[in-house]
Structure 1
Amino acid sequence: MRQRRTRYRKFWKTGKRKETNPTKIMDRSIIQAVDTMDMWGRVCSFPDQWQHALELSSEQGFTFDRDRIRNVCIMGMGGSAIAGDLLRGYAAPVSPIPVMVNRQYKLPGWVGGNTLFIASSYSGSTEETLEAFDKAKESGAQIVCMTSGGRLLEKAIECECDYIRIPAGLSPRSALAYFFVPLYKMFIGLELIKDDPSVCTSMPDFLKEQVESFSDTDENEPLYLAETILDTLPVIYSNSGYLEAVNTRWRSQLAENAKILSYGNVLPEMNHSEIVGWEQMAHLTGRLSVFMLYDADDHEGIQSRMQVTRSLIQDHVVSLNTIAARGPNRLAKMFYLVQFGDFLSLYYAYLNETDPTPVTKIEMLKSRLMK
């Protein structure tokens, strides 16, 4: 179910925008002209990556002592951490122990001998993760590394830690299944998730259906919505459960693929402070678009709050779109919305004639930090 309210479009950029034709964007030659490094192919091959990750993880064994584990700390940054975010939110309702995602140099004081510490860095050279690895080792935590190589893999081998070798040649944000699937199966083995194994193994077929739907020229919601939010600042709201990580993924993909800023928050918390901030918004009317991500199985209080929140903010925005999670189970619902956001970010990039793959500002930042 999608509810949309459009008031008007207002372009405030200097000069006039080139007219866009959303249907024309689906022409493969046009995509190739803009997308020089084939991010489209990587997003469309996500079902195949999931299947490959299943095959690789079937051969994975771990040596850590599961009886010692009283908490889990997943360390990562950017695209190397989002699988941990998704899994933390997914496991939270049933996990008997706390799971945390750490995104900074320092570790919580409770990390120690009873901690399963998972160091995640696609390149293996993320400085925050490498420093946290050393501190986790000093604390006596049991360590598992996830990487395609680099210094992190070297450290894992030197310390005789368990490690998951991820295929190289991708960007971190394009390797989501390679990070998520082995973590998910690890959590199943630790009884932090209680899904039937078929939930995970049936995912490639479900994901393929979404790729077909989101790459079609007819009734293509991500493409249609990308056109409606051009030249606006997207605001993304969701519940504070597993959809909070999906919210994060949407904003990260809009930043890295579409090269635009967006903002996000969660309910019910935003109802206790941020909602008041919508009162003085005259200077931004016509510049904001809102997405509300929801699951029909959300707590009834969340569903009511979303309806009322929508009614309170709809007059301040260009468009207000309610995107429902779809699928036969919670895992499928989560990744339906992940795929929706991935395609949305690509279509925005194409409509804006922007190559989605390069992350120039990140490379500039790294270069300056090294000086």
Structure 2
Amino acid sequence: MSPTDTGVLDTLGMFDAAFGLPDQMAAAVELASSVDGLPDASAVTSILVLGMGGSGISGDIMALVASEHGRVPVEVSRHYELPSHVGPHTLVMAVSFSGDTEETVVAAEAAVAAGAPVVAVTTGGALGDLVSAAGGGVCGLPKGIPLPRAALGAVGLTPVVLATRLGLLNDTAAAVDAAIEAVAGRLGANAGASGDTDNEARTLARHIERTQPIIYGGGRTGELAAYRWKGQVNENAKAPAYWGSVPEVCHNEICAWGQHGDVTRQVNSMVYLRHDGEHPNVSRRFDFLAQITAEVVAEIFEVRAKGDGSLANFYDLAAFGDLVSLWMAAEAGVDPGPIPAISDLKAYLAG
């Protein structure tokens, strides 16, 4: 999209990518369901998912699914180094949209050296070459995705489908279908990306305005969605945002509310990401948080997930958060696609 045809600045088509998420999810499932060359997983006793940034969240999604469907434990690593236990009994899934994410490639090299079965989820690059040469499996991603953070459906569902095929997750087909259905419903209810669009996502973006949102999510599902929201506000809107998990913030962060309320009331807003699968005491903790923060933040907003099951709830909240972050960018006249700070960092490290 260009500002001349829609009134919204979006040179890389991030709005189009957001609204294309259900199709992306379905295409990723089809690719992962048919790819061949996967390793023998009969001796695997654990899964390690490698990834960074928009690709790194794939491991968190796998862990979320494994909490309900898992047959082996799942670990996530966002580091150059591997955990010392990795070896022939650990399936390593290395996820990198570009295939050239430095940390992921280095860790995948170590996994190959350790004799671990390795599967790469990537569009190619050094990672694809490495894993292919080592005899591991390589699963591609759907075409037409502009940037890694726009690939949430592909990088999130592909490892789930592959692990299910390998017998490391119990049947996940219904959970995946429910996630696609939930996303389609949420996006359909928030359609439009023009100057005169009026929907819930844009309304929330306008309410947040120039405050710095603190996003709290309940339980495993909510905390993962809050993490995603925070990163999307950072990268799309180029704005500060923070996240926390309930109940964890009730063991530390609540102690900070009340001090400097005159400052936080001007600077911060709060977004609560809720879902029907919360533990009853998580719900009570949200009630208490609202009581103690109501006077020290600009405003508190609540978004409740729709859909059947944890995976659907996560993707529903994430899809809505993506739109909110894009509308925050639009309202500020910011192009959501380019990320010059990260480009500058890569240039610095290369020098």
Q: Give the TM-score band, short-chain normalised.
A: over 0.9
Q: CA deviation at 1:163?
A: 0.8
Q: Deviations over 1:263-300 (max 9, x none)?
A: 11111111111100112123222211001111122111
What is the 5 A alignment of 1:11-160? 31=6, 33-160=8-135
Counterpart AA for 1:270: V
Counterpart AA for 1:88: A
| C-alpha contact 1:234 1:262 (8 A) present in aligned 2 | yes
Structure-2 separation of matches of 1:192 and 1:32: 47
Query: Per the alignment, in what secondary structure is the counterpart of residue 294 of structure 2?
Result: helix
Query: Per the alignment, in what secondary structure is the counterpart of residue 350 of structure 1?
Result: helix
Query: Relative contact order: is structure 1 or structure 2 higher (C-alpha 8 Å, sep ≥ 6)?
Result: 1
Q: CA deviation at 1:58?
A: 2.6
What is the 5 A alignment of 1:239-254? 239-254=218-233
| C-alpha contact 2:45 2:89 (8 A) present in aligned 1 | yes
1:187 aligned onto 2:163: yes
Counterpart AA for 2:152: L
> 1:208 aligned to 163, 184, 190, which one?
184
Query: Per the alignment, in what secondary structure is the counterpart of residue 240 of structure 2?
Result: coil
Structure-2 separation of matches of 1:157 and 1:58: 18
Q: CA deviation at 1:29?
A: 5.1
1:226 aligned onto 2:205: yes
Change (3 A) 1:218 1:127: closer
Q: CA deviation at 1:40?
A: 0.8
| C-alpha contact 1:86 1:242 (8 A) present in aligned 2 | no
> 1:270 aligned to 225, 249, 258, which one?
249
Structure-2 separation of matches of 1:254 and 1:110: 36
Change (3 A) 1:130 1:324: same
- 2:281 aligned residue: 301
| C-alpha contact 2:182 2:306 (8 A) present in aligned 1 | no
TM-score for both structures, normalised by structure 2: 0.92
How many equivalent pairs are there? 346
Counterpart AA for 2:158: P
Structure-2 separation of matches of 1:207 and 1:298: 20
- 2:308 aligned residue: 328
Structure 2: give runs of 5+ residues left out of the alignment.
Answer: none
Q: Give the alignment's Cα RMSD to 1 decimal.
A: 2.2
Q: CA deviation at 1:190?
A: 4.3
Counterpart AA for 2:280: E
Q: CA deviation at 1:218?
A: 8.0
Q: CA deviation at 1:320?
A: 0.3
Deviates more, 1:86-95 or 1:159-168: 86-95
Deviates more, 1:132-141 or 1:214-223: 214-223
Deviates more, 1:109-118 or 1:174-183: 174-183
TM-score for both structures, normalised by structure 1: 0.87
> 1:261 aligned to 240, 245, 251, which one?
240
> 1:354 aligned to 334, 341, 348, which one?
334
| C-alpha contact 1:95 1:191 (8 A) present in aligned 2 | no
Counterpart AA for 1:172: P
Structure-2 separation of matches of 1:238 and 1:208: 22
Q: CA deviation at 1:110?
A: 1.4
Q: Deviations over 1:119-171 (max 9, x none)?
A: 11111111111110111112111100011111111112211111111245521
| C-alpha contact 2:64 2:310 (8 A) present in aligned 1 | no
Structure-2 separation of matches of 1:292 and 1:325: 11
Q: CA deviation at 1:243?
A: 2.2
Q: CA deviation at 1:248?
A: 1.2
Deviates more, 1:240-249 or 1:56-65: 56-65
Structure-2 separation of matches of 1:195 and 1:321: 35
